[in-house]
Structure 1
Amino acid sequence: MDGTSRESGHLTGILCGMGAGALWGLVFLAPALVRDFRPLDLAIGRYLAYGLMSGLLIAPRWRSLVAQMRSGAWWALGWLALAGNLFYYVLLATAVQMGGIAMTSLVIGFLPVAVTIIGSRERGAVSLRRLAPSLLLCGAGALCIGWQAIAVPGTASLGPRIIGFVCAVGALISWSAFAVGNSRWLGRLGGISAQDWNLAIGLMTGAQAFLLLPVALAMGIGHHDAAAWTKFLSVSLAVALFASIVGNMLWNRMSRLLPLTMVGQMILFETGFALIYGFLWEQRLPTLLESAAFALVVASVISCIAVHRRPATDVTATI
């Protein structure tokens, strides 16, 4: 791939990452919009809708998709659906409801450190030495928000905030595993489009959500009026369509255009948009620590992009 094509591919990938981040940032609002429902309810509602939409969209190409699935791909779909969707979203929704949108989104913003370190081991990837400034900036941002979550007084008591912080870290680990595994499987299945792979994950996630439905019913559905259920269904459908269908499509497209060391950095767009949505929802300005964290993670993305633009070495490892 020549320099011009590489730069064009990187630009397209960055734009896809930005679009995915803008849509994924909306998922941080959902738990706040329907706070009366449990995180498990939110996950089941969102992913049942995602599964149904995926089934309708993939039906005309189902036989072709099955024929192109390699050995082990079905197993990969299962654990990717669980790590990147159900398990991740239950933890994220719990973190939002107990620790707040800003804290949760900034903890998730630490994802680039894990993914970039793993990606640096890929053949032809940018070395950790050259990525060190970007990683240090991202790490400093994570430390700012960790201090904000634990040490700075908030509206909630310390116990729930600590639980929210721990759940956010769990969501971070779960999504790190998904980001790396998904990027690698997209590279192995070159004959399957990014959108079809997304829809296949959607079908698997929908099946898993359906299996969890009896668990949620056994735990009780709570006392909600018709207006609350209408709002819950509307939020579930909107998040499924915009975040899971369109957002995941953009992310998968990006994952095929950018090296893994750069893929991790793109999640910071989700962090940025989630913060903006959160501050608008809470009708407040960011604190000093939140402002510092946001500035640091933006600087981390910019420095990472700059490193990948340098022509000194070929950093276009195909994912």
Structure 2
Amino acid sequence: MRNDGRTIAGVAYGIGAGALWGLVFLAPELVPEFGPLQLTIGRYFFYGLFSLCLLAPIWHKLKPLLGRREWLALGWLALTGNVLYYILLASAVRLGGIAMTSLVIGFLPVAVTIVGSRDKGAVPLRRLIPSLALSALGAVCIGWQALAGPASESVLKQVVGLLCAVGALISWTCYAVGNSRWLMRLDHVSPHEWNMLIGVVTGAQAVLLIPLALALATESHAALAWMKLAGVAAAVAILCSMVGNALWNRMSKLLPLTLVGQMILFETLFALIYGFLWEQRLPTALEYVAFTLVVLSVVSCLAVHAQPRSNVSHAAAPPYSDAHSQKGS
């Protein structure tokens, strides 16, 4: 097919983004003395700072292209895809564990794909049911052992952790869908520039959270601990937020939303792989089954999109993407 090259490149970008994003699950383990809010502020402060430095030389070119609608979208995407999502994710990992959080976040492909199936020209949902079923089964296998085993925390903590994970699922689904659609309609702003703009807005939101973090602080930390937090936050900002998001945005320009959803599975897979390395153990039989189901889910989804179809185009306009000025309103 003439779009095979675009699809292969898009999948490669998706795998790269997942490999980097999986690292965020390790961050709470690397600096356990700091809470989710402090981790979030540190990560996105550096993300915003680095983005600002990269945008400064081209700001004169970008400023006229951004209107009120674009800035509102940037604020909403920064909140749902970064600040709110990471606070909820880190809280879920702390309260419910990595396995339970992975189980819930593992349903992201299902949620995004179902939403994407409503787009004009998208692959019909009925043709994606086998892929969605494999995805759901893989997610269930990933978290089954932790949920079936004895809980190490109180029931209340488990429930709150589960609610945080569900909140993270909803938050990032909104981001994935909204970001993909905005990238399709923004011909005047590159994916890299859009990523940096989101970074600047996210950094501003992180700065606004500093007074809240100071008010909620219950213990002091040594200078070495703060330096460790800064190092972890800077590394996560560069690898996950900047490089990972840049790869994801490139992928979103190449693949339809129904296939974009499947790419999120790689974040869960790599998060588990890093978890096994951190815990210095091999996957269990059930975890091997989960890996197999996840791979089959992505492969089956790719097969559906590779089948000839007359009216499907990854660049099809979303339901609400009517013409708008490049400079916004």
Task: Choose from 239, 242, 253 the match for 1:242.
Answer: 239
**Which deviates the most, 14-23 or 58-67?**
58-67
Unaligned runs of 5+ in 1: none
Residue 277 of structure 1: aligned partner: 274
2:75 maps to which residue?
A: 78
> Structure 1: how far apart are the matches of 2:223 and 2:290?
40
Aligned to 1:35: 32
Give the Cα–Cα distance (whole angstroms) in 2 for the partners of residues 124 and 67 of structure 1: 32
Matched, 1:317 2:314: yes
Q: Distance in 2 between matches of 1:105 and 1:62?
A: 38
Q: 2:213 aligned to 212, 216, 230, which one? A: 216
Equivalenced residue count is: 316
1:70: Cα distance to partner? 4.5
Letter in 1 for 2:100: M
Q: Distance in 1 between matches of 2:46 and 2:60?
A: 22
Matches within 5 A, 1:1-319: 3-4=1-2, 6-145=3-142, 147-220=144-217, 222-318=219-315
Aligned AA (1:79): W
- Return 297-306 or 217-226, whichever deviates more: 217-226
Q: CA deviation at 1:101?
A: 2.3
Q: What is the CA distance between 1:304 and its match in structure 2?
A: 0.5
Q: Within 1, Cα distance between the matches of 2:104 and 2:294?
A: 11
User: Among the aligned pairs, what percent are the same residue?
Assistant: 62
Maintained 8 Å contact 1:266/1:301: yes
| 1:40 and 1:90 in contact (8 A); partners too | yes
Q: Which deviations, in whole Å up to 9, do the C-alpha atoms of 1:17-61 show, x marking residues without a partner? A: 111111101111001111110100000000011000000001111
Separation in 1, partners of 2:286, 2:162: 16
How far apart are the structure 1 equivalents of 2:34 and 2:63?
37
**Greater shift in the superposed pair: 132-141 or 94-103:** 94-103
- The structure-2 alpha-carbon separation of the partners of 1:146 and 1:278, relative to structure 1 and needing over 3 Å to count, comes to closer
- 1:288 CA drift (Å): 4.1
Structure 1 window deviating more from structure 2 (13-22 vs 93-102): it is 93-102
Cα distance in 2, alignment partners of residues 103 and 281 from structure 1: 17
1:297 deviation in Å?
A: 2.1
SS of corresponding position for 1:203: helix
Letter in 1 for 2:96: G
Deviates more, 1:118-127 or 1:287-296: 287-296
Per-residue deviation, 1:309: 1.0
Supply the distance in 2 between the matched residues of 1:29 and 1:138 (Cα, whole angstroms). Answer: 23
**148-157 vs 172-181, which deviates more?**
148-157
